[in-house]
Structure 1
């Protein structure tokens, strides 16, 4: 069942859980997260970054839409970190049901202007819009990018931003970073800032850079009002590590994709299942049929 981001997150907000948004950078990752969501009976946002889309080509979105339309799971296909109006328009044209415009690097008023323009265009064709206020950190080589110094989201600014843009969800900066943290850095969420934001902002809130943070902090963030959490690095690293293990083995004749990739997909599914449970999204499919 293909739905919009607004439809997806309104249920999560009302019921107090977070929807997993897994970055599906390949057909194998897409199949893995669809399978584990089915097993867990969890709603699913399939996130695709513009760089991933360039690699996969537009036909990948048609594949994702077919899987969604032929599943009883509520599925949203989401553009992750669209950087321009052109990115957004292209995503809408090829079938995304939710888009993120990331103008967080711009001054506040410019961010509002860009986001408002996207909202007006997307809402006209029933596509949901996520925006970002504040900055997400960057731990290294990720397609999502980020900055070296986090600017935390201000609660009063967030309220004004949402009211002036009519955005459907807001990604907030509370101390996360894209990628896996180096061993010498201890990730820590500013949950007090999140609590302030939830008092002022009444649209669903989004957490980017959810890989590597302690489970206790993520669980508390959901309790405080986070309704969507993006996961990319965690599912990709275990996939890649398993593939390296297989390729470095003694059997040099392994070459068939249907032999190479299934064990890697199983490792991805293990991590994805743990995230779904952590976010409280398991068994929530039935809520979308009430």
Structure 2
């Protein structure tokens, strides 16, 4: 049981045609719910921290909570920086004990993206830390990530090959139609699987990453709205599409919005049904349970990573 890199996890996932869930964490209850689910399912997991989470909770608190989770669960866990927006931030997280970092320089030109990414790779690899980068841009809003549909772009397969070779990254986040946030599709959900298959064939045995991949489970949206929320028209990535992606080289699937919805739905419900409660443990406990149930569902029915730690 230790903080580990994703290298061996991805090798097993690629060979087994399943994906590892990368779950965003912000506080103790979220970490406990995710890790308890992974322990029950004997599944590998990645816990990732966004720029927003770093500001909210302070990186040292989150790292210590993850270390406590490892000690309590006996699991090996990857601690990953999600959407590091600068080389400096990535280097700081490497120095702070993260075992994996993502440098997101996708908003720069292709050559500048390569330059910044290569700088992070050289530093991280010298410390035994793995690096994820992004090519192409996902639309949507999540923490510090805010990309309009007009500025979104799909990943070019030939550029992907060149990017991987020139940067030395360990995994690549690609854009094939997913987006950040709860409003991923207005009409029929559609992902560019032909593009994904081309990229996977051009980069055999190389782990690909899917961001913006929450399903936006309807039951949690309905619960939020039933108990005072206002989340109309939210729609995520259908589960069968995520299962298909994992058979085409996607080894890491990012999940954040579903965690937020599960937690918020449970809290809203408890406070409406128990208006006299003001003890945070009374509503954060059910929220933690809701996260655990949702993550177990993802591991068993979407990611396919049950028993991957055996």
**Range class of TM-score, shorter chain:** over 0.9
Q: What SS does the corresponding residue of 2:241 show, helix, strand or coil?
A: helix
Q: Which residue does the alignment assign to 2:48?
A: 47
2:249 is the counterpart of 1:225: yes
CA distance in 2, matches of 1:152, 1:79: 23
CA distance in 1, matches of 2:71, 2:81: 18
Q: Which residue does the alignment assign to 2:25?
A: 24
Q: For residues 217-265 of structure 1, give each alpha carbon's deviation from its aligned partner in whole angstroms, at most 9, with x where no partner exists.
A: 111111111100000001111111211121223431x122322211111
Identify the range of structure 1 (95-104 vs 59-68) with the bigger mean alpha-carbon deviation.
59-68
Q: Is the 8 A contact 1:43 1:75 kept in 2?
A: yes
Give the one of 96, 103, 115 matched to 1:101: 103
Q: Is the 8 A contact 1:47 1:80 kept in 2?
A: yes
Give the one of 264, 283, 288 matched to 2:307: 283
CA deviation after TM superposition for structure 1 residue 109, in Å: 0.5
Query: CA 1:108–1:268 in structure 2 vs 1: closer, same or farther (change >3 Å)?
Result: same
Q: Which residue does the alignment assign to 1:181?
A: 183
Q: What SS does the corresponding residue of 2:247 show, helix, strand or coil?
A: helix
CA distance in 2, matches of 1:101, 1:56: 21
Q: What SS does the corresponding residue of 1:224 show, helix, strand or coil?
A: coil
Q: Is the 8 A contact 1:136 1:146 kept in 2?
A: no
Query: CA 1:242–1:66 in structure 2 vs 1: closer, same or farther (change >3 Å)?
Result: closer
Q: What SS does the corresponding residue of 1:78 show, helix, strand or coil?
A: strand
Q: Is the 8 A contact 2:118 2:168 kept in 1?
A: yes
Q: What SS does the corresponding residue of 1:206 show, helix, strand or coil?
A: strand
CA deviation after TM superposition for structure 1 residue 128, in Å: 0.5
Name stretches of at least 5 consecutive residues in structure 2 with no aligned partner.
Answer: 215-235
Identify the range of structure 1 (57-66 vs 82-91) with the bigger mean alpha-carbon deviation.
57-66
Q: What SS does the corresponding residue of 2:36 show, helix, strand or coil?
A: helix
Name stretches of at least 5 consecutive residues in structure 1 with no aligned partner.
Answer: none
2:233 is the counterpart of 1:209: no
Q: For residues 6-61 of structure 1, give each alpha carbon's deviation from its aligned partner in whole angstroms, at most 9, with x where no partner exists.
A: 23322212222100000011111001000000011100000110110111112221
CA deviation after TM superposition for structure 1 residue 81, in Å: 0.3
Q: Which residue does the alignment assign to 2:129?
A: 127
CA distance in 2, matches of 1:81, 1:70: 28
Q: Is the 8 A contact 1:135 1:146 kept in 2?
A: no
CA distance in 2, matches of 1:281, 1:250: 37
Query: CA 1:258–1:63 in structure 2 vs 1: closer, same or farther (change >3 Å)?
Result: same
Query: CA 1:42–1:182 in structure 2 vs 1: closer, same or farther (change >3 Å)?
Result: closer
Q: So what's the TM-score if we normalise by structure 2? A: 0.87
Q: What SS does the corresponding residue of 2:177 show, helix, strand or coil?
A: coil
* Counterparts of residues 60-139 of structure 1 (less than 5 Å): 60-138=62-140
Root mean square deviation of aligned Cα: 1.5
CA distance in 1, matches of 2:272, 2:72: 37
CA distance in 2, matches of 1:62, 1:263: 23
Q: Which residue does the alignment assign to 1:33?
A: 34
Q: Which residue does the alignment assign to 1:3?
A: 4
Q: So what's the TM-score if we normalise by structure 1? A: 0.93
CA distance in 1, matches of 2:274, 2:283: 14
